Amino acid sequence: MTLTQISRMATGCPGLDHVLAGGLPEGRSTLVSGTAGSGKTVLGLQFLHDGVRDYDQPGVFLTFEERPEQLRANAASLGFDIAGMEAEGKWLFVDASYNADRDEQQVGPFDFGALLLRLRHAVQTVGAQRVTLDSIGAVFTRYQDATTVRRELMRVTELLRELGVTAIVTSERAEEYGQIGKHGVEEFVCDNVMVLRNALEEETRRRTIEVLKMRGVDHLTGEFPFTIVPKSGIVVITLEDTALNAPSADERIHSGLQELDEMCNGGMFRDSINLVSGATGTGKTLLVSEFTRGGASRGERSLIFSFEESRSQLFRNAAGWGMDFAGLEAEGLLKVEAAYPEVRSLEDHLVQIKRVVEEYQPHRIAIDSLSALERIAPERSYREFLIGLTAYIKHCQVAALLTSSARNLLGATSVTDAHISTLTDMIMLLRYVEIGGAVRRGFMVLKLRGSTHDKQIHEFVIGSNGMKIGAPFRDVTGILAGSPQRVAALSEEYHDMSYMFDGD
């Protein structure tokens, strides 16, 4: 006996292909089961749409539920141009939706011969490689003879197999957890089952997708959160996806500070997530402002989400550092969105952030601060928010600067957010450094993915022209631990403070 490798067909749905370890089993039907409003039809539309757009694989949408014009309109609201694909001969609807004018009485046995004929004809007409059937429940609504419907649905899936198309078959279920479908046929018509959920948890809706079974092929197990985003449709959020699937550019951009660019060997990456962590007052918001000024100097638009300071505070601070935010806004190089974290849930914040990003199309995004958002939600939601946020930023391929407050004024427990550190491309630390009875500020790049970087702790000062990063601290150890000490072997009793730093 030889094992035949089942090849995969990439769905095109961000994150889902990762969960599916490559895509749906090619030439097979996959059941997508979910409660009302869980996103089944969207997934079915997206599967065909992305197939045409990304892989030039035509599709046939067999609908028992919504009329084609409704589906076109729903798809258009997601940014999918189905009418255009129909005009190009890449998409066909087979309309078997219920309509009161076409109410049918039943007198004696019947079969779905005409439907099979239409499906075969449609698949052959456009050369379809993908088919969506939406949904099984609606067939049972149109024809009450359940035994016949069950038998005929099996014939439909047999035909799909014979035609060699990869198919999604949707089905309703009554509860989020329980039997897969309510018609007692679902498991038998498809080898593969995915479940979409839209569960109410701590008063918020949480959408997840789970691959229940994929006969004979690999997949990730467990529930993965997803969101529905304009232009992309369903975006499944996986940690690994952010690292693996997002394309990354080698292009560097100006961080806003010449010295920081040098520490990073040429600047931040064009599509990167950069985290700055530091205690209150160390200069995180200043770094955000420098990041914005740096972008503006290259003609790049920045979008700042401020959850700690109001617009006017932000503008006043910027003025104190010699930056004209009002002027930048007038030139269209800056947009500031300020809101209290408490005004909406984290999920809604994420949706709002996406909405504004879609509208403004910035080159750079700053969020100040994550810590302010952290306090309004349970840990699990916060973690999922971060994953969703970073996945989205990666998707947009922009540079992002996120700030996080360290809990202690001095030293450690800094990047408290163990969650976020793995999602970032660069981590910068801002530290108070107490030496010889005086408090100074230290700056270091803790991590920079994909590049070498300066690993020394530099002193920096804040002046009327913003931030100035200076030379590294020398002969000092223990800054990160919060208790800086002069290195005994190198220091002498008579050493002045100034000896701890390089020249200038």
Q: Would you name the residues annotated as active-site residues?
A: 65, 308
Residues forming a β-bridge with 233: 229
Using the contact rule CB under 8 A, the part of the chain among 96-104, 180-188, 323-331, 363-371 near other proteins is: 96-104
Strands 458-463 and 334-338: unpaired
Q: Residues of 201-226 as b/e, b for ≥16 C-beta within 10 angstroms?
A: eeeeebbbbbbebbeebebeeebbbb
Query: Residue 320 corresponds to which tokens in the numbers above?
Result: 């104190």
Query: According to the binding rule CB under 8 A, does residue 102 interact with other proteins?
Result: yes
Query: According to the binding rule CB under 8 A, does residue 360 interact with other proteins?
Result: no
Query: Residue 344 corresponds to which tokens in the numbers above?
Result: 């909406």
Closest approach, Cβ 64 to other proteins, in A, equals 9
Closest to 309 measured CA to CA, from 405, 441, 439 = 405
Torsion of CA 414, 418, 422, 425, to 10 degrees: -20
Q: Of these, 2, 4, 5, 105, which contacts other proteins (CB under 8 A)?
A: 105
Q: Of these, 81, 86, 95, 300, which contacts other proteins (CB under 8 A)?
A: 95
Using the contact rule CB under 8 A, the part of the chain among 38-46, 103-111, 169-177, 437-445 near other proteins is: 103-111
Positions in 114-133 near other proteins (CB under 8 A): 114-115, 117-118, 121
Kindly state the helix (H) or strand (E) to which residue 345 belongs, with its residue range: none
Query: According to the binding rule CB under 8 A, does residue 100 interact with other proteins?
Result: no
What are the start-end ranges of the H helices in 279-324? 284-297, 311-320
Helix crossing, 40-55 with 68-77: angle to 10°? 70
Distance of alpha carbon 245 from alpha carbon 255, whole angstroms: 25
Query: Residue 404 corresponds to which tokens in the numbers above?
Result: 């996080």
Query: According to the binding rule CB under 8 A, does residue 106 interact with other proteins?
Result: yes
Binding mask 137-176 for other proteins (x = CB under 8 A): -----xx---------------------------------
Query: According to the binding rule CB under 8 A, does residue 108 interact with other proteins?
Result: yes
Closest approach, Cβ 112 to other proteins, in A, equals 6
Q: Of these, 112, 382, 432, 443, which contacts other proteins (CB under 8 A)?
A: 112
Please, which residue, 121 or 495, has the CB nearer to other proteins? 121
**For tokens 């769905």, what's the residue?**
11
Q: Are the CB atoms for 398 and 235 separated by under 8 Å?
A: no
Can you tell me whether residue 274 is helix, strand or coil? Answer: strand
Using the contact rule CB under 8 A, the part of the chain among 93-101, 359-367, 448-456, 478-486 near other proteins is: 93-101
Closest approach, Cβ 95 to other proteins, in A, equals 6
Closest approach, Cβ 143 to other proteins, in A, equals 7
Q: Of these, 54, 88, 111, 175, which contacts other proteins (CB under 8 A)?
A: 111
Q: Of these, 21, 84, 110, 490, which contacts other proteins (CB under 8 A)?
A: 110
Please, which residue, 99 or 313, has the CB nearer to other proteins? 99
Positions in 21-80 near other proteins (CB under 8 A): none
Closest approach, Cβ 108 to other proteins, in A, equals 4
Please, which residue, 101 or 504, has the CB nearer to other proteins? 101
DSSP line for 398-418? -EEEEEEE-SSSBSSS-S--H
Closest approach, Cβ 294 to other proteins, in A, equals 59
Q: Of these, 3, 100, 107, 418, which contacts other proteins (CB under 8 A)?
A: 107
Closest to 132 measured CA to CA, from 61, 34, 49 = 61
Please, which residue, 154 or 343, has the CB nearer to other proteins? 154
Please, which residue, 53 or 142, has the CB nearer to other proteins? 142
Query: Residue 423 corresponds to which tokens in the numbers above?
Result: 């999602």
Query: According to the binding rule CB under 8 A, does residue 331 interact with other proteins?
Result: no
Please, which residue, 96 or 350, has the CB nearer to other proteins? 96
What are the start-end ranges of the H helices in 303-455? 311-320, 325-330, 346-360, 370-374, 379-396, 418-421
Residues forming a β-bridge with 225: 208
CB-side neighbour CA atoms (13 Å) of 34: 25
Closest approach, Cβ 119 to other proteins, in A, equals 10
Determine the length of the chain: 504
Q: Are the CB atoms for 399 and 364 separated by under 8 Å?
A: yes
Using the contact rule CB under 8 A, the part of the chain among 102-110, 298-306, 398-406, 487-495 near other proteins is: 102-110
SS3 string, 232-244, reads CEEEECCHHHHHH
Query: According to the binding rule CB under 8 A, does residue 96 interact with other proteins?
Result: yes
Q: How many chain residues touch other proteins (CB under 8 A)? A: 24
Closest approach, Cβ 120 to other proteins, in A, equals 9
Query: Any residues with CB less than 8 A from the CB of 182 and at least 6 apart, and which?
Result: 137, 172, 173, 174
Closest approach, Cβ 110 to other proteins, in A, equals 4
Provide the terminal-to-terminal Cα distance of the chain, rounded to the nearest Å.
Answer: 76
Please, which residue, 91 or 307, has the CB nearer to other proteins? 91
Closest to 442 measured CA to CA, from 454, 434, 430, 453 = 430
Q: How far is CA 136 from CA 74, 149, 171, 187, in A?
A: 20, 9, 5, 12
Using the contact rule CB under 8 A, the part of the chain among 10-18, 89-97, 358-366, 367-375 near other proteins is: 89-97
The site for other proteins (CB under 8 A) is made up of: 94-96, 99, 101-115, 117-118, 121, 142-143
